[in-house]
Amino acid sequence: MENQSNEAPVAAAAAAEVSSTTQPAEPTKRSLRVQTWKKIQEGKVGVGFNGIFNRIPAFVDADKAAALLIQEEEFKKAQHIKVNIDRALHDFKELSLLANKSVYLPSTRDSPALCLKVDVPADATDDQKKEALRVQDIQKFRSEIGLDTNLKLDLVVIGSVVVSRDGYRIGRGNGFADLDIGLLIELGVITPETTIVTIVHDVQVVDTLPVNLFQKYDTPVDIIVTPTEVIRVAKRLPRPSGVFWELLSERRLKILPVLQQLKEQLEKSGKKITLKEEDTDIEQHQNSRRRRGPLRRRFQRGNPGRTTSQTDNEQQGDNTQKRTPRRKGRFINRRRRTNKSEGDQSGVEVGAKSEDRKFDEGGAGERRPKKKNRPHRDFCVKLTNLTRDIRVKDLKTELRKRECNPLSITWKGHFGKCFLHFGNRNGAPSTQDDVDKVLKSLNDLSLTITTGGDSAPAAGAEEPPAETANAPLQTKTINVNVELLKFGAKKNAGGNTSAGEGGNANVNGEDGSAANVGEGGASRIESVDTTTV
């Protein structure tokens, strides 16, 4: 229950957050955690790329520490053992099951159970016992232990981030381990005869820790086991007396149904319980959903996704340093859109100015590297008379049947048209024979589509209306108009050029079959997102 304390105001706690790269004048729980995580990382004794920071770290030779613990007298006499689910404790859980001990695990957060017992058949093999620990389904190899249990634990094994030789322990910061211990003490499951043990690496053990950092709800340990030694605390430190309800918020009770259930039982028996009025609990993984996306965002400077806890802000004053806010980008590239009055030539000039502006702002004396060159487009075919229920998949299928392979497709189905871009992939310019071959393959182009039914629409198709969702299947054929557009040619003096909708150039030549488009129009067509066939 490390973050049950409400000693510091929320504003002061947020301002006093300690960065992982800043060491405060006086040590805090957060700074001690960060020091230990860095020692584990620099010493290369951690296990897993993401198994060190902001959690109970997994470490090498955890099996050796577990082997040392099972040789102790406390383990040999114990019959009921509760072990947390930290990865560093997995080897000890396996050895406990193999030694025919009754092993108990923490319950899930949405479960009203106090803990879960690992049930294995009496004649189970060693492999079956190990498999029982790997099962995630609580309905299999698990039985729930309720609040009305008479269970008495002999041994409790928990993980730690930092621990001192005199028994003080610091966890990962969310407080659930301390809250679980307090709950077990409240119900009498943990008694004065119960031994609390932690398994850590040698670098996690320090001689002393500041006593003023610890509160009445912090759990001390009796035995510290590392891969190389067993440390017995000379004098047992005071344990929590139970659950401190005045330090818990209503939201924390909703997260743990077992606490809400215990509160209702105590209130029925006549006990008056008062919760913390202001909710200042900060959960450990409050920003975990932000971590989706590119991996680089998780480790960049000023990343807001770093998790914090209530105890990270305890015992911190004005002497701590704030995290420097991340510097925003100085330049924002905004592409200027041309209007009809400016014409095609102005569009080319604006594009050139934009490139010059990027060159000047870079300040490096060299132009930025461009994207990978794609094959040059020599001419384009415009398809019209497309209905909204036609998918680009239907067009691609028909083009493959006709052995027509454009370089790319600019799909504008919501406007009833699309553009097929052609050119030689080897870089040579297209000849008139290539153009005639494409036009011949597109002669009498028509698309056959199936509409209706209750099948889900595919990608690229619009959602059908509710009244036609269950309509019977219908097949219809749509004739598509084909128009040739050439790129790279100079504008004819007698040509008629106009800017069409969507920024594409619609040019009608005098012969009605082919027309020439200026480079400005070509650039606007190519600026639309394309999908490769």
Domains in the chain, please, with CATH? 62-243 (3.40.50.10420), 379-450+475-486 (3.30.70.330)
- Phi/psi at 306 (5° precision): -70, 130
Least confident of 31-40, 52-61, 274-283, 424-433: 274-283
Distance CA 480, CA 393 (A): 15
Site of tokens 């584990």: 40
pLDDT at 25 over 50: yes
Rounded mean pLDDT, 418-429:
83
Q: What is the pLDDT of residue 167?
A: 95
Residue type (1 letter), 253: L
Q: How far apart are CA 157 and CA 56, in angstroms?
A: 13
Is residue 271 pLDDT above 80, yes or no?
Answer: yes
Angle, CA 90 vertex, CA 86 and CA 93 arms, to 5°? 115
Cα 317 to Cα 321: distance, rounded to the nearest angstrom:
10
Q: Give the pLDDT score at 418.
A: 92
Residue 348 pLDDT class (50, 70, 90 cuts)? very low
DSSP designation for 406: -
**DSSP letters of 176-226?**
HHHHHHHHHHHTTSS-TT-EEEEE--GGGEES---GGG--TTPPP-SEEE-
Q: Smallest Cα–Cα separation from 311: which of 173, 212, 176, 180?
A: 173
Task: Yes or no: say if 276 and 247 are a contact pair by the CB < 8 Å rule.
Answer: yes
Q: How far apart are CA 199 and CA 224, in angstroms?
A: 6
Residue 339 pLDDT level (bands cut at 50, 70, 90): low
Q: Which residue has the higher pLDDT, 160 or 173?
A: 160
Q: What is the dihedral of CA 38, 44, 46, 47, to 10 degrees?
A: 140
- The neighbouring-strand residues paired with 142 are 118
Q: Chain centroid to CA 509: how far?
A: 55
Above 90 in pLDDT, residue 285? no
Element spanning 130, H or E:
helix 126-134
Max mean pLDDT among 181-185, 298-302, 370-374, 436-440 falls in 181-185
Q: Strand pairing partners for 162?
A: 170
If pLDDT is split at 50, 70 and 90, which confidence band does 104 have?
Answer: very high
For 238-242, the CB contacts below 8 A with 24+ separation are 239/181, 239/185, 239/190, 239/196, 240/1, 240/178, 240/181, 240/182, 240/185, 240/216, 241/185, 241/216, 242/182, 242/183, 242/185, 242/186
CB 444 within 8 A of CB 452: no
Given a contact cutoff of 8 angstroms between Cβ atoms, the answer to whether 200 and 243 are in contact is no
SS3 (DSSP) at 27: coil
Which residues lie closer than 8 Å to 372 by C-beta, 6 or more apart?
none
- The pLDDT, as a whole number, for residue 528 is 36
Instruction: Please give the DSSP secondary-structure letter assigned to residue 279.
Output: -
CB 244, CB 218: distance < 8 Å: no
| Mean pLDDT across the chain | 74
d(CA 524, CA 533): 20
* Cα-Cα end-to-end distance for the chain: 59
Count Cβ atoms below 10 Å from residue 494 Cβ, excluding itself.
7
- Tell me the average pLDDT across 119-143: 81
- Pairwise CA distance, residues 123 & 436, whole Å: 80
CA gap 487, 515 in Å, rounded: 9
Beta-sheet pairing, 162-164 with 205-206: parallel
424 within 8 A of 416, measured Cβ to Cβ:
no
Q: Could you please report the per-residue DSSP string of 148-172?
A: T-----SEEEE--SEEETTS-EE-S
In order of 302, 488, 509, the CA distances from 493 in angstroms are: 58, 15, 11
Phi, psi of 311 (to 5 degrees): -75, -15
Contacts of 120 (CB under 8 A, 6+ apart): 97, 128, 129, 132, 141
Quick: pLDDT tens for 64-91. 999 999 999 999 999 999 999 899 999 9
Q: Where are the alpha helices (DSSP H) in 241-330?
A: 250-255, 257-268
Per-residue model confidence as pLDDT tens digits over 472-485: 777 888 888 899 88
Rounded to the nearest angstrom, the gap between the alpha carbon of residue 292 and the centroid of all alpha carbons in its chain is 3
Residues 6+ apart with CB under 8 A from 41: 52, 53
Q: Which of 188, 187, 175 lies closest to 217 in space, CA to CA?
A: 175
β pairing state of 205-206 and 223-225? unpaired
Model pLDDT, residue 140: 78
Res. 317: pLDDT tops 70: no
Backbone angles phi, psi at 195, to 5 degrees: -100, 130
Taking residue 163's Cβ as centre, other Cβ atoms within 10 Å add up to 26
